[in-house]
Amino acid sequence: MKLPLYSRAKSHKIYKIGAFGGYNNTPSCSEKEFSKMKNLSSKHFPAMSPISNWALFDKDIYDFFLYENTLFKIDNKGDFYKNSTLIREGMGTETREFSVLGDKLIIMPDKLCYSMTTGAICSLEASWSGVGSFSADSMSLTNTLTTAADLSSLFKEGDCVRLSINGEDRGFYCILSIKDGKTVFENADFTEASGECSISIERTLPSLRNTFECNNRLWGTCGNTVYASALGDPFNFYKYRGISTDSYFKEIYSAGDFTCGIAYGETPLFFKESSIYRIYGNTPDSFVADVKEAPGVSFDCRHSAVTLGGCVYYAAADGIYVYSSAYPTKISQNLGDLKIGTAMGGTDGKRYYISFSEFHGIKDQMAEILEAYHNYMLYAFDSENGCWYKYDDSLRIKKISTGLYGSIFKKPNTIALDSEGNLFGISDKLAGTTSDRLIDDAVIMTSSMGISGIIDFGCVSRISSIKLLLRSYENTEFYGEISFDGGGFIPFCKIHGGDGIEKSYTFRVKNKRFSYCRLKFGGVGDYELYGAEIYYDHSYHKEK
């Protein structure tokens, strides 16, 4: 029998992947990146590894704030706690802004001040109305108000208050002393009111948003105006005595309200949707607002702004940006084209965590509008390696904060609050022991997955085997799958358990000709995939 004439040429080759990058949801995704991802982390970069299991810290929480080793929280009933100690009942459920100035925790928009030294909580505002009379002091100024009530429980020395006498607004005056029913005002002469008269005294604050502490002042915005409190004194925003400790305000004549404020080192930084304002200077008389027209923080994204590594990361309308004194740089290209609705951000000192919804435009039905705003995604950006990582799409994170709470080794924990009222850790390595940081020993076991970009060997090829360099652990369930020419994924490996030692595994792959392929790895539990080697050959027939 005469056989057909042909020759077969083979070129045995090895394709090596020795490092894994992050998430890349664009056509340029390489074979060392992941076009699809769930719950991967950069904790062992450049190895592929999952996020740590999420430890549950608390339940039924509406809002929270971490400061060092203290957890301040408002539960779903509106009650305010310091750790497990009730501070105030019935505060209601609305989103708060927390700032720390010295030992004072400032809570907005409630205009409350909690002393972390004494445990007392009070209003930043105060008012009193009643009957009193003025008399002269030793300087022959009629500026000493005598009342039956001792006003020292409401006001203090140094307060700048608005004073009304017999219904006439007399403007702002600073209190020099207040004791035993006698209140002395600075540079005031109320000779015509020396008899008994009707008196009204008020210490008020603007309705501030975007509040933060910077250089021992509480900063914030109200509409188009920037405000700063008196030095070290969040109770006073209308103290104008011509000295360095005065309050400060500045109207900014530009379109739109401010969307965010944050301390950028020792510089107050404010955003509108299309501009960035920096306040330079050391004292109120030297403060200057410098403006830069640039993509700013988007509306309803004020909690996305975070300082990390000398930069400010934030969500603008069309993506995620980083600002470092110069023009801001967009860093979310690998996430694809974005239109951000709302966003929350946080950091663990290395990663920028950002949870946001994508808004796809106004739709006809209210349900569709709500769906557009509630399609949330959670990502982490590794600032050192410049890689993005995507978490579970089902998570809607309302807030992220970092502190020493739950830590016995003085290592920060990054804690997130989801829409179900759960507080859980999202740090790559939670500090503390199980008994220190868990409720009822509850741990959310996370599954993880990553699909590579296209692997193209240049011509029609066949794979004979795949070799993996992997470290797995006792509770690990790891798998590998492969897809040829855009088809479904075919399993080629499953690994159960492990001893925590780095090992090499080789798996045979069904011999199939293809033009390109993708790899998919994932599992439940912890593992580290350090590399993959694909053994393949180019096969072809040529008639003679």
Name the residue among 463, 465, 478, 468 with its Cα closest to residue 517: 463
The share of the chain scoring above pLDDT 90, in percent, equals 69
Secondary structure E strands in 236-375: 248-251, 260-264, 267-272, 275-280, 288-293, 306-308, 311-316, 319-323, 329-330, 340-347, 351-358
Strand partners, 280: 288
Quick check: helix, strand or coil at residue 169?
strand
Alpha-carbon dihedral 205, 211, 213, 215, rounded to 10 degrees: -70
CA atoms of 69 and 517, how far apart (whole Å): 49
**pLDDT tens per residue across span 414-466:** 899 988 899 988 876 554 433 333 444 455 567 899 999 999 988 898 999 99
Q: What is the pLDDT of residue 362?
A: 53
CA atoms of 356 and 299, how far apart (whole Å): 12
**pLDDT tens per residue across span 489-512:** 999 999 999 999 999 999 999 877
Alpha-carbon distances, residue 327 vs 127, 179, 278, 293, 323 (angstroms): 45, 53, 13, 9, 7
The share of the chain scoring above pLDDT 70, in percent, equals 90
Q: What are phi and psi of 60, to 5 degrees?
A: 55, 45
**pLDDT tens per residue across span 62-101:** 999 999 889 999 999 999 999 999 999 999 888 899 999 9
CA atoms of 130 and 527, how far apart (whole Å): 71
Sheet holding 329-330, edge to edge: 306-308, 311-316, 319-323, 329-330
pLDDT surpasses 90 at 122:
yes
Q: What is the pLDDT of residue 138?
A: 60
Alpha-carbon distances, residue 363 vs 77, 377, 456 (angstroms): 33, 21, 41
Mean of all residue pLDDT scores within the chain: 88
DSSP 112: E
- Rounded mean pLDDT of 141-155? 91
Q: Which residue has the higher pLDDT, 437 or 488?
A: 488
pLDDT surpasses 60 at 543:
no
- Rounded mean pLDDT of 36-43? 93
Q: What is the pLDDT of residue 273?
A: 94
Identity of residue 470: L
Rg (CA), the chain: 31
